[in-house]
Chains A and B, each alone.
Chain A
């Protein structure tokens, strides 16, 4: 078990973030989907910025998307990630329309391309926390 060795920053498990990451722990990528107008959204919010509804469900994403942009960190800005440089914090646009910050594994940062197809994988970084990451996929 790698749990004891994981020194990187973890998300605070509170409020809507706890809900989002709880699904990740079950290896499900779910986003809020407005019950009023049907719009998907991320980051999670209390109400729908499109229609004003407070009602939503946690709808399951197919986990497929494309690389939208990325930020490649070459100088170690956070001591907890110093061993990881260079690494890219990637914005992935899911087929459902939402975008999220994540990592794309199995590919060096300098080979990322806008529009590159990716699919979700779940990284159980500790006993309590699972991060949704992505890897390149062959286009159907």
Chain B
């Protein structure tokens, strides 16, 4: 038995409204989401004594000062882009399971629409790039006009589509399922804006093969989750959601995409078997998956990394409603980054938690007992958690 299995729980989740346009700073957004998560858990700001931050700003010092935390005992950061929030859950779980901290906050706020979106990468230049991959990019990619995720993941997608003869209906099924689920979610930015196959097909190209609706949203908002030990979780306001498995993994090398011997082996390929083994679970046991959906083709790669199907077969796996509510393996029941909001996937953790509490109303996966959340970031770093009620 893995020493961390079921020793920590997600006890609180909360978010701001997801908008395009806001008067709030990112710090203010994070604080509002944190207060919502605390309220959800039945905790007060002074109960938080640990933080794991998936984004470099604001710092733990800013957050602790604003929240009035009297005794911040533990802080850490995880700088692996969109894989960071889920990886942070593993770190937080270790901290609470060992008693280093009682209640650990994991917040992300991103005013990507109104503030620093990825589209600004060319203007901000190398200094504005995350250190985790900025060196490689400024030295070897940017002189050739490549600086944003849609461009560098198109390297993966172009070869993936060519090598496996992936039909347009593969990535389309991912985009359409996410949008369909968003219609059942009041918080989703794309609620009330349904998407058809014709809309998908006719949308403009962004970076081939990514069309507009293959790409995640840029929104303004924040989301936060709180991790506590299993013992403490049982006394809190909400039914505990147990962290049964957790792992992170990295492609080789993680700081350069062209140089990979095994081009499609994203970090999740390394992480998934570890987390399933820890949880003593199989992919066929899952009631849902919340997958980091920066781009639809990346969702296909992640499904393969999870072991849902063989390499190159995900585009067929997702057909016939299999990943929609009511299908074998519902995916991103909130709409995901594609149709709810982009807060680096903390919203995926929040949704998984609410699904396992059976609080999702008309989009509830019936009798949900076990689910997975994945993270994917920078040049293909990966993370996942296996959650159970």
Residues of A whose CB lies within 8 Å of any CB of B are 8-12, 17, 41-43, 49, 68-75, 77-81, 84, 86-87, 89, 91, 98-103, 109, 114, 129, 131
Contact = CB atoms under 8 A, between A and B. Distances in A.
Interface residues of B, number: 40
A8 B257 CA distance: 22
A61 B37 CA distance: 57
Contacts of B46: none
Given A78-B148, A79-B122, 16 more contacts: A9-B122, A9-B125, A10-B143, A11-B140, A41-B259, A43-B139, A69-B156, A73-B146, A77-B122, A77-B150, A77-B207, A78-B145, A81-B122, A100-B140, A102-B144, A114-B162
B229 to A, nearest CB: 39
A4 B111 CA distance: 37
B138 interface: yes
A71 B146 CA distance: 9
Interface in B196-219: 204-208
B205 A75 contact: yes
Q: Which secondary structure dominates chain A's binding surface?
A: mixed
Interface string B256-291: 111100010000000000000000000000000000
A81 B145 contact: yes
A59 to B, nearest CB: 16
Contacts of B146: 71, 73, 89, 101
B136 interface: yes
A73 B145 contact: yes
Given A11-B139, A89-B141, A74 B206 contact: yes
B139 A17 contact: yes
Nearest to A77: B148
A75 B258 contact: no
B152 to A, nearest CB: 7
B208 A103 contact: no
Interface string B94-128: 00000000000000000000000001011101100
B159 interface: yes
A68 B262 CA distance: 12
Contacts of A80: 122, 145
Contacts of A129: 143
B144 A131 contact: yes
Given A11-B138, A78-B121, A78-B122, A68 B258 contact: yes
Contacts of B123: 79
Contacts of B156: 69
Given A12-B126, A71-B146, A114 B141 contact: no
23 contacts: A8-B145, A11-B142, A12-B139, A17-B139, A69-B156, A70-B154, A71-B154, A72-B154, A72-B207, A73-B146, A74-B205, A74-B208, A77-B119, A77-B147, A77-B148, A78-B121, A81-B122, A84-B145, A89-B144, A89-B146, A91-B155, A100-B258, A101-B258
A135 to B, nearest CB: 15
A9 B141 CA distance: 10
Contacts of A114: 159, 162-163
Across the A-B interface, the 3 shortest Cβ-Cβ residue pairs? A78-B122, A71-B154, A69-B159
A35 B256 CA distance: 22
Contacts of A71: 146, 151-152, 154-155, 158, 207-208
Given A49-B253, A72-B154, A91-B155, A78 B147 contact: yes
A103 B259 contact: no
Interface string B158-177: 11001100000000000000
B210 to A, nearest CB: 9
A77 B259 contact: no
Contacts of A102: 144
Given A68-B159, A78-B121, A79-B122, A101 B140 contact: yes
Name, among B139, B150, B162, the residue most crowded by chain A CB atoms within 10 Å (CB to CB). Answer: B139
Contacts of A72: 154, 158, 205, 207-208
A77 B144 contact: no
